[in-house]
Amino acid sequence: MSQQPTTALEPRREKAVVNWQGRAITITFVDVKRHICPLATDQEIVVFLRMAQSLNLNPWAREIYLIKWGAGETASYIIAEESYLKAAEQCKEYAGHEAGIIIKDAAGNLNHVDGAFYVEGDNVELVGGWARVYRSDRNHPFYIAVNFKECAKTKRGGDLNKFWNEMPATMIRKVALARALREAFPSRLGGMVTASEYPEMPEGSFPEMLMKDGKPNWPKFYAKIKDELGLASDQAHKLLNVEHFSSLLNEGWTMESIWDALIKARQTGEIIEGEASEVAAEDATFEELGKESNRRSPQLNRNPELIQDMNACLRACFDDFGLQPPDVAKELGYNSTQEIDKKPADCYREIAAVRKGADG
């Protein structure tokens, strides 16, 4: 009797497709490994991708995170509080919720307050949070009350972290609601924690893999803009009315604030058609540029310091040496242009040194 062949799991082919802002967003195994959590194991990445797809959550929009601090530790699946509600609303049994804070007065009485507003004073202390989640197929709501001191997250020095220090009522209410939702829908939300429940987890943090030695990794940032927002580099620049995003950093912006501004502008702004000469993707060929009858002559004496971004580097390498983007990556020792983490000016210098030397 012949046996049916078994299909082995191939983690690197796994992907998640989620619907975000009316667009289908694809997150691949490689995306997670390179940009979100490089320390995660294959199995942890597969679980993360399936979780993102089943809950329809977009990690690029900071709806769900995969965090792992050390190779020997277990990865954590973290979900934004708003995403908890989004996931709950997808359950037909969800019938609403109530949530608030618990205040202790001077006499020791505990008062349950709706929402997260209270007036601080000598005779008032914030001691906890509460929440009720209703299901249409249950006779009683799921009620949770949590203790502030047990839930508050601190920095390594013992002080409350930024969010718990600046908005304690909001944070304790979030924790209570998250736990109530998890208890009400264990099969859907079990195994995940919210950002407010995770130690030293800044809500809305930007993926660390888009930074290199504390500096922006521009090739990966532009690849993210193209893949997740569907924008060419010049379109993204025009949406924020800048020539280079680095100028915004000089004005005090962060990579996260630039990304947030792009998301908002992508939703509300006018998308201007991109120019063929400005490309950031690995598969750009510059073929149309090569067909231009008035194509400029190679500037073999150009100043590399004027090459400020990878787009300009790729264009210069094509104009001066006839190299396509994949050839540039190969000559620098990378598999693709998205992996290049050297300064654009240094990349040009390295290629120019070899090419000029070859030309005698």
Q: What does the pLDDT look like over 192-214, one tens digit per residue? A: 777 777 665 544 444 444 566 66
pLDDT in tens, 68-90: 766 677 888 888 777 878 888 88
Q: What is the mean pLDDT of residues 126-152?
A: 93
| Position 357 confidence tier, pLDDT thresholds 50, 70, 90 | low
Q: Where are the alpha helices (DSSP H) in 16-116?
A: 29-31, 42-55, 81-89
In the predicted structure, residue 35 carries a pLDDT above the cut 90: no
Nearest to 317 by CA among 298, 303, 334: 298
Which of 49, 102, 76 has its CA nearest to residue 197?
A: 76
The CA–CA distances, whole Å, from 220 to 63, 210, 342 equal 20, 6, 12
Query: Is pLDDT above 90 for 49?
Result: yes
Supply the DSSP symbol for 34. Answer: I
- C-alpha 188/C-alpha 10 separation (Å) is 25
Confidence of residue 295 (pLDDT cuts 50, 70, 90): very low
Rounded to whole angstroms, the Cα distance separating 178 from 84 reads 7
For the chain, percent of residues with pLDDT exceeding 70: 78
Task: Give the pLDDT mean for 239-265.
Answer: 77
**Amino acid at site 20:** W
The band of 355, judged by pLDDT with boundaries at 50, 70 and 90, is confident
Q: What is the reported pLDDT for 129?
A: 94
Rounded mean pLDDT of 322-343?
A: 78
Which residues, at least 6 apart from 6, have a Cβ–Cβ distance to it below 8 Å? none
Q: Using CA atoms, how far apart are residues 279 and 240, in angstroms rounded to an integer?
A: 17
Mean of pLDDT values over 293-302: 47
Which residue, chain included where needed, has tokens 């020792």?
333
Average pLDDT over the chain, rounded to an integer: 76
Structure tokens at 189: 């939300």
H helical segments located in the chain = 29-31, 42-55, 81-89, 148-151, 162-166, 168-184, 186-189, 218-229, 233-239, 246-250, 255-268, 287-290, 310-321, 325-332, 344-358
pLDDT at 269: 56
